Amino acid sequence: MVPARAPGPELLSLAAAIRAHGFGALVVVDDGSGPEHDPLFASLAAQQGTHLLRHAVNLGKGRALKTAFHYILTELPPVQGVVTADADGQHAAADIAAVAAAIVSCVGPASPAPAVLGTRAFGPYVPLRSRLGNRLTRIIFRFVSGVQVADTQTGLRGLPLAVLPELLRLEGERYEYEMTMLTYLCRHGVRPVEVPISTIYIDGNRSSHFNPVRDSMRIYFVLARFYVSSLIAAAIDFTGFSAIAPLPSALTVPPSSSATGPTPGCSSRVESPVAARWPSARPRWPHPSGATTPRPRRCCSTPLHSPD
Ligand SMILES: Nc1nc2c(ncn2[C@@H]2O[C@H](COP(=O)(O)OP(=O)(O)O)[C@@H](O)[C@H]2O)c(=O)[nH]1
Ligand SMILES: [Mg+2]
């Protein structure tokens, strides 16, 4: 699916390339782009397998993603997952296909459903603003979540169908929604699988709608809120743990012997309404009394990927 705000003709070639990769459907959301973009969207809509959804006014990338998720869940035949990609030519169709392949290879009865991130490399050829912004966000994200992700801002993501209902309930209408999704998944034990993709910046990223002040503030607010709520969750866990620690081991539940580990290369999930639908690989900490207790919730275990 592709959220599009005032796209250029590159969206047409991207759509053709996506179709050539054999995707089940292409969902494009025209987010109040305006009448001058009608001809482009009309020719997109005329192509077989393309579903065009429209917002009457610009509502933001996050809102457009949710519109597409709703549509995919309610109107399309069941699929294994969804790949989100940008409309402006920053994502190559081959990379979109690679992210889709990563979802398919990781979703299965024995492997927890992962999220997949198409991750860019931020070398010197990347515009300074994007390079610095991404590095700073990556550092802060790692600090607040404990998870190292090479590219927190990537718009190329793979999501298994089963997580969409929960992502639909999350707040966020603009770019910060993508950060909210990432922190939510992370908090619930999903370690993103990272697939390296080409780093494409066209014309110094001039077509970007990202407002460095307003949109960055929204993203950092999401991270700040995540940090504070993690601290509160850790405090509650600690209090609960202190309360149950004296219980005799006979009154506590032993760890499940049916827990299965993740498929190599896929993430593990530890705790979530989503996770309840899969066998849990949740680690449990032994206690001297013989009791076991869940690992405290402040996000996260070993990341899969250590870029630097
Ligand atoms: N639907 C929708 N898509 C948006 C909006 N803003 C950006 N996008 C899309 O999100 C993708 C990335 O946006 P862009 O402005 O290029 O951000 P950047 O690449 O991070 O600098 C592109 O596909 C845009 O068309 C918006 O308000 N609504
Ligand atoms: Mg862009």
Eight-state DSSP code of residue 201:
-
In angstroms, what is the span from residue 76 Cα to ligand 1's centroid?
Answer: 24
Mutation to probe ligand 1, out of 2, 30, 88, 215 (largest number of atoms < 8 A from CB): 88
**Band of residue 109 on the pLDDT scale cut at 50, 70, 90:** low
pLDDT value at 105 more than 60: yes
Confirm or reject: Cβ of 43 under 6 Å from ligand 1: no
Taking the domains of the chain in order of start, what are their residue ranges? 82-226
Higher pLDDT, 228 or 258: 228
Q: What value does the mean pLDDT take over residues 52-63?
A: 98
Element (H, E) at 240: helix 214-244
Q: Kindly state the percentage of the chain with pLDDT values over 90.
A: 58
- Residues 69 and 166: their CA atoms lie apart, in Å, by 10
Considering only CA atoms, which residue is closest to atom 10 of ligand 1? Answer: 86
Q: Alpha-carbon dihedral of residues 164, 62, 95, 184, nearest 10 degrees?
A: -50
Interior/surface letters 92-114, b for 16+ CB within 10 angstroms, e for the rest: bbebbbbbbebbeebbeeebbbb
pLDDT tens per residue, range 7-29: 999 999 999 999 999 998 999 99
Q: Which pLDDT value is given to residue 35? A: 97
CB 283 within 8 A of CB 189: no
- Residues 68 and 292: their CA atoms lie apart, in Å, by 42
pLDDT value at 307 more than 70: no
- Residues 124 and 54: their CA atoms lie apart, in Å, by 37
Considering only CA atoms, which residue is closest to atom 2 of ligand 1? Answer: 61
Q: What value does the mean pLDDT take over residues 201-218?
A: 87
Q: Where does 21-157 have alpha helices with state H?
A: 38-45, 61-75, 93-106, 128-145
Ion ligand 2: protein residues whose beta carbon lies under 5 Å: 88, 90, 208
CB 72 within 8 A of CB 51: no
Output the CA angle 306-149-87, nearest 5 degrees. Answer: 130
- Residues 29 and 143: their CA atoms lie apart, in Å, by 34
Q: What value does the mean pLDDT take over residues 129-137?
A: 91
Q: What value does the mean pLDDT take over residues 266-279?
A: 43
Tokens linked to 152 = 């927190």
**Among candidate residues 258, 303, 263, 1, the one with its CA nearest the CA of residue 107:** 263
pLDDT value at 249 more than 80: no
Q: What value does the mean pLDDT take over residues 227-240?
A: 87
pLDDT value at 149 more than 80: yes
Q: What value does the mean pLDDT take over residues 187-196?
A: 91
- Residues 120 and 195: their CA atoms lie apart, in Å, by 9
> Residue written as tokens 């494009």?
28
Considering only CA atoms, which residue is closest to atom 21 of ligand 1? Answer: 208
pLDDT value at 289 more than 80: no
What pTM, to 2 d.p., does this model score?
0.80
What is the residue-averaged pLDDT of the chain? Answer: 82
